[in-house]
């Protein structure tokens, strides 16, 4: 298959490199890392074994042309680039797969392309880009793949088989919207509190006039302090309550599952923490504000999520 990777940070580079390693025709659409990746390729330092690949590199989508599959690993803050970078890559039979966090990404793609061409992939993986062309993989890696509209199709299973062939665990969901909410159960507390924690604990449980300035909180710190762990659990329960009000059946037992799964990650910095430290815009809209709007529309009280969004808005470097 001819595959384009749009958004070659940690996520796009990791999965793109896995596909490149098994001989797929993989094209990386690059900006700042173009020269390094073109000359030196991509190195993956992984708990599953290190490897190196040399993908095809391009600066513009026109250099790549129409593909069989487009994998989108962009930050959701760059979704306004969809109309510029995606059309040259997408033909009538292209599968457009967004691997992005949060809600609303598939809907934004459906404004450009037929809904039946769009899929979502939920990535459960711990990755960091440690330097241009070098990705550190510390835990997990599974993708849960689903069609934007309707049940799985032969194409869905073909793509899942391709990921598995590349050594990527891949499940198929028959309800992509529900799976998005399941991932939010983890993303909202660990991405959100990791950054909001720099304002201090009191900022999350009250409304002080000024915010403190402290280091970001990695996953081990959030689960190593009873106060922060309690906030993690309360946020998870709010997300589950909102999901269930929207007719997505997520059991409360998912809280304990997610907490236990996170303990093995060690001192992991979720993607939002890294964006914050680099002074980049936070993925507020899709990961936090849209879930908040849907929860409020469903009439579910989510006071912890409301306060979290307020603090994140105040801390957002793009504000």
Query: 22-43: b or e for each residue (b if 16 or more CB lie within 10 Å)?
Result: eebebbbbbeebbebbbeebbb
Q: How far apart are CA 142 and CA 139, in angstroms?
A: 10
Helix (H) or strand (E) holding 100: none
Q: How far apart are CA 218 and CA 216, in angstroms?
A: 6
Which residue reads 């028959």 in tokens?
A: 174
Q: Find out whether 121 and 148 touch, Cβ atoms under 8 Å.
A: no
Residue 211: CB partners within 8 Å, gap ≥ 6? 198, 199, 200, 203, 311, 314, 315
Residue 2 annotated to the active site: no
Using the 8-state DSSP alphabet, how is residue 112 labeled?
A: T
User: Strand 56-58 and strand 118-131: pairing?
Assistant: unpaired
Q: How far apart are CA 172 and CA 156, in angstroms?
A: 8
Q: Find out whether 266 and 84 touch, Cβ atoms under 8 Å.
A: no
Q: Calculate the CA dihedral of residues 51, 54, 57, 61 and round it to 10 degrees.
A: -70
Chain-centroid distance, C-alpha 47 = 20
Query: How many Cβ atoms are within 10 Å of 290's Cβ, its own excluded?
Result: 18
Residue 150 — φ and ψ, nearest 5°?
90, 180
CA 119, 124, 128, 133 torsion-angle sign? negative
Q: Find out whether 174 and 151 touch, Cβ atoms under 8 Å.
A: yes
Q: How far apart are CA 200 and CA 193, in angstroms?
A: 10
Q: Identify the active-site residue in 18, 40, 75, 183.
A: 183
- Residues labelled catalytic: 183
């Amino acid at each position: 298959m001819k595959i384009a990777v749009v958004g070659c940070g940690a996520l796009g580079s990791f999965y793109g490199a896995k596909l490149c390693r098994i001989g797929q025709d993989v094209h990386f659409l690059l900006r700042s890392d173009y020269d390094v990746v073109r000359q030196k390729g991509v190195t993956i330092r992984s708990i599953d074994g290190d490897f190196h690949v040399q993908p095809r590199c391009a600066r513009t989508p026109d250099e790549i042309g129409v593909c069989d599959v487009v994998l989108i690993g962009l930050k959701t803050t760059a979704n306004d680039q969809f109309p510029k970078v995606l059309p040259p890559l997408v033909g009538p039979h292209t599968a457009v797969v967004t691997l992005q966090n949060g809600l609303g990404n598939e809907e934004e793609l459906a404004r450009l392309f037929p809904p039946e061409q769009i899929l979502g992939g939920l990535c459960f993986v711990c990755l960091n880009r440690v330097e241009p062309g070098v990705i550190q993989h510390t835990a997990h890696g599974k993708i849960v793949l689903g069609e934007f509209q309707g049940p799985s199709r032969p194409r869905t299973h073909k793509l899942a088989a391709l990921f598995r062939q590349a050594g990527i665990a891949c499940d198929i969901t028959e309800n992509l919207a529900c799976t998005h909410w399941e991932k939010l159960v983890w993303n909202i507390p660990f991405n959100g509190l990791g950054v909001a924690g720099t304002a201090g604990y009191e900022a999350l449980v009250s409304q002080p006039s000024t915010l403190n300035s402290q280091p970001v909180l990695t996953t081990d710190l959030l689960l190593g302090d009873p106060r922060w762990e309690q906030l993690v659990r309360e946020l998870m329960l709010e997300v589950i309550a909102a999901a269930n009000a929207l007719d997505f059946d997520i059991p409360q037992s998912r809280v304990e599952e997610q907490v236990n799964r996170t303990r093995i990650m060690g001192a992991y910095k979720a993607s939002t923490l890294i964006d914050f430290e680099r002074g980049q815009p936070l993925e507020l809209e899709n990961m936090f504000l849209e879930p908040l709007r849907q929860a409020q529309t469903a009439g579910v009280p989510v006071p912890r999520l409301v306060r979290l969004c307020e603090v994140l808005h105040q801390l957002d470097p793009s504000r």
